[in-house]
Chains A and B, each alone.
Chain A
Amino acid sequence: MLLSFLAITTIAVVRLRDLFAVVMLFGIFSLLSAAIFVTLDAVDVAFTEAAVGAGISTVLMLATLTLTTRTESPPRHGTLLPLLVVCVTGGALVYGTLDMPRFGDPQAPIHQHVAPRYLQDSPAEIGLPNVVTSVLASYRGYDTLGEVTVIFTAGAGVLMLLGAIRRRTACCDDTGKGGSAVNHNLVLRVVAKILIPFVLLFALYVQFHGDFGPGGGFQAGVIFAAAFILYTLIFGLAAARAVASPGVLRVLSALGVLLFAGVGLAGIFAGGDFLDYGVLASHPVAGQHLGILLIELGVGTTVAAVMIMIFYLFAGRTR
């Protein structure tokens, strides 16, 4: 059912020329994917997909639309070759599924080899109820460091592409930019003022509760950024910049990565391996706990800072 919705959405995305509708459909697409992940019992992934795919990326794409146009120009090339490539790729994927282990089969290799140890030993080794966090932050923590670096790279890349231009063109008269229509809307202002503290609080909850339930630095960072973006939309860019200036964000985005990698180095200096949190405290489980708390903080900081920074850069540009 969800999958067929997904297929319908995709076809609509391909057919439509109105980019505003396409962006909205992308949001729906992400929400549907999140729902599918929930039915697959992957709540952490679902959470991320909902926050990033349906939330932030929709806002960023809308921001792009305000800078460009709303309608797609008709394609210049024939569509036959791309269609062929897509069909071959799709065919190959279907062919590949033919010998896949049956869905939910307990004998499937993924349930037999590495996963059992995560499930059985992680409570004793790391001591967190949420195994997903244990895997992401500790067993495969280095991948997470890599992912944070990817986010940081994206932020630095956008900053390089748009940053310098912004300083020259639009500077200070942007009380209205992105918010002029809603600037004087009393209802929105009041609702936003009530809502934003709760959103921020929720972000902090997600940040520090990631050990126990779904959540963690990525999701928290995105939610935190969403609160800021909401504030920017309602009260204007200048007001938001007064709260967190681009310079501060630039520093914060770097600090998050530095904190994460620094915790890793601390492991070396404490006599263990890189990212070995066990040596950080007197008891290995306590060390794991401390390490995960710190690196999640690093993740959250970088993600939030980069997201807000990217939004500022988009919002600060005039057409």
Chain B
Amino acid sequence: MQLGQHLPVLQVVIPLLSAPLCLLLRNGRLAWMFTLAVSWLVLAGAVWLLLQVLAHGTVSYALGAWPAPWGIEYHVDHVSAFVLLIVSGISAVVLPFAGISVAREIPADRVSLFYTLYLLCLTGLLGIVITGDAFNLFVFLEISALSSYALISQGRDRRALTASYHYLILGTIGATFILIGVGLLYMMTGTLNMQDIAVRLPAVTDTRTVRTAFAFLIVGISLKLALFPLHLWLPNAYTYAPSVVTAFLAATATKVGVYVLLRFVFTIFGAAFAFQVMSLGPILLVLALLAIFSASTVAIFQDNLKRMLAYSSVAQIGYMVLGISFASLTGLTAGILHLFNHALMKGALFLALGAVFYQLGTVQLTQLRGLGRRMPWTMAAIVIGGLSLVGVPLTVGFISKWYLILAALESGWWPVAVLVLLGSLLAMVYVGRLVETAYFHAPPEDDREVREAPLSLLLPIWILILANLYFGIDTSLTVGVARQAAALLLGVSP
């Protein structure tokens, strides 16, 4: 038995098996340590897979030993390996933070259930990314969606329940649309394997059924990744969810949504069909710009900081989709790069807010007055994360913006480049509001002693912040992989 050869499937099956095991652990602390160990194992697997893909190219695994179109295939290429790394990496950093944060926010008798669902959510996200089968993707989408509804509902605020319900309705509609699209594709090609569909699709591409399938898939996926104007579920869900859940989902779930978009548009339908026949480019471009400007503007007027960052997420998804809408090598590189970079920023920022919430019990802007002196490390992390969000040089945000502007200029759309810069200004305004309150306002009158967050919370935050800086300076890994992934999707040499 060669373990390495089974790595692709173990990547998903290990968390999948761990979830029911975790349910059997009645002790919350034990469940946490177990989940942590599993998550680190998964991260090790993801790193190994990425190295294998970089060294030898695409890795394929036939489940049940049935060859591809008859059985289900796992198909790991540069794109999936990169997103796997993002998801498992964020999970590995978020979980150490979860220990005391979850213990404070979730009733003790529900903690092991909480981690069971967390593992299921992780399983679902990983399963979506790694699979090479369109229906299998849907199955894992359901696992991740159901578990995230349950996780979000566990916020302390009662409004978490309605937020979760709202997400459930919209998410289910999105999933149904995706299912309809996959069903129509199966009807026209007779297969569910992605590569196989891609081979057989050109013969029937000029039918109304395939065009309908495309439309349903795009709308369904856009709902899942919260593309403007289908983002309405996101702000409340992120605002009221427990801190750890917000950080994990904000950094991974929408990224996986973008990955699914890339997969369907480029691998299955092909860039030529999507952008020339269906003219997806202008649609995505306009929606992305609207997302950037409307969501950033709304973010400026939020007093709840989690909600502010949630709207900022909608705007950032706009940047990713903007990169994709160019359908050029640089544009796609920028989009994929921003998947990674945004996961780092939002992961760090939401975790830092989680630490604030842990100490203060609130994330209202007015309560943060003067917090810069009382929680210096946490607030410094928020400042750096915020600068990264704006796109200041030496942070990952700058790298993303740089490639995005490069792509816009390359396509000859300089007004878009100007708009990207203007979008950064809006981000500057909402981050600036936070910094001003924390550092230049006197602390509130009450004598409550507010101390710095404990080390187990600070450490994960700062790991992500340092990653923000490191990958803002040394871009060889991220840009290199993103470029190879983009080339693979477009079918050109990097």
Chain A interface residues (CB < 8 Å from chain B): 92-93, 95-101, 108-115, 117-118, 138-143, 145-147, 149-150, 152-154, 156-157, 159-161, 163-164, 167, 250-251, 253-255, 257-258, 261-262, 264-265, 267-269, 271-278
Contacts and interface: CB of A to CB of B under 8 A. Distances in A.
Contact of B143 (A109, A115, A153): A153
Given A114-B70, A114-B190, A153 B16 contact: no
Contacts of A115: 190
Given A118-B70, A146-B143, A156-B23, A163 B123 contact: no
A143 B139 contact: yes
Interface residues of B, number: 64
B65 interface: yes
Contacts of A108: 187, 190
Contacts of B373: none
The main secondary structure of chain B at its interface with chain A is: helix
Nearest to A135: B70
A163 B110 contact: yes
Interface in B215-266: 215-216
A139 B20 contact: no
Contact of B62 (A143, A154, A159, A273): A273
Interface centre among A92, A253, A269, A271 (most CB of B within 10 A): A92
A147 B146 contact: no
Nearest to A113: B190
A114 B61 CA distance: 19
Interface string B60-74: 011111100111100
Contacts, number: 179
Interface string B90-126: 0000000000000000010110011011001001000
A273 B63 contact: yes
The main secondary structure of chain A at its interface with chain B is: helix
B53 interface: no
Contacts of A110: 186-187, 190
Interface in B125-141: 127, 133, 135-136, 139-140
B493 interface: no
Interface in B175-195: 180, 184, 186-192
A96 B212 contact: yes
Interface centre among B61, B135, B139 (most CB of A within 10 A): B139
B207 interface: yes
A157 B151 CA distance: 8
A157 to B, nearest CB: 3
Contact of A274 (B64, B70, B135, B153): B64
Contacts of A95: 208, 212
B209 A100 contact: yes
B143 A271 contact: no
Contacts of A269: 1
Contacts of A268: 1, 6
B63 A274 contact: yes
B69 A254 contact: no
Given A96-B209, A156-B120, A160-B117, A146 B140 contact: yes
Nearest to A145: B16
B147 A258 contact: no
A167 B270 CA distance: 54
B64 A109 contact: no
Contact of B209 (A99, A118, A276): A99
A114 B153 contact: no
B153 A153 contact: no
Contacts of B147: 153, 156-157
16 contacts: A100-B187, A108-B187, A108-B190, A110-B190, A112-B190, A138-B64, A141-B64, A143-B133, A146-B136, A160-B113, A160-B154, A164-B107, A254-B24, A257-B16, A258-B21, A277-B64
B96 to A, nearest CB: 22
Interface centre among A156, A251, A255, A258 (most CB of B within 10 A): A156
B156 to A, nearest CB: 14
B24 A150 contact: no
A45 B269 CA distance: 30
Contacts of A161: 150, 153
A109 B188 contact: yes
B408 interface: no
A96 B213 contact: yes
Contact of B65 (A112, A152, A276): A276
Contacts of B204: 109
Contacts of B190: 108-115
Contacts of A278: 65
Query: 4 smallest A-B Cβ distances: which pairs?
Result: A96-B212, A113-B190, A157-B150, A254-B20
A254 B184 contact: no
Contacts of B150: 153, 156-157, 160-161
B13 A139 contact: no
A147 B140 CA distance: 8
B419 interface: no
Contact of A276 (B19, B64, B154, B215): B64
A120 B72 CA distance: 19
Nearest to A257: B20
A258 B20 contact: yes
A101 B187 contact: yes
Given A111-B190, A142-B64, A157 B110 contact: no
A212 B19 CA distance: 32
B17 interface: yes
Given A159-B113, A254-B23, A109 B16 contact: no
Contacts of A276: 64-65
Contact of A261 (B13, B139, B146, B189): B13
Contacts of B123: 149
A139 B213 contact: no
A269 B140 CA distance: 25
Given A98-B209, A99-B207, A149-B123, 6 more contacts: A93-B180, A96-B216, A108-B187, A149-B143, A153-B146, A273-B9
A113 B68 CA distance: 12
Contact of B117 (A93, A114, A153): A153
Given A95-B212, A156-B117, A258-B21, A140 B107 contact: no
A288 to B, nearest CB: 10
Contacts of B200: 109, 113
A156 B21 CA distance: 12
B398 interface: no
Given A109-B204, A114-B191, A157-B117, A143 B1 contact: no
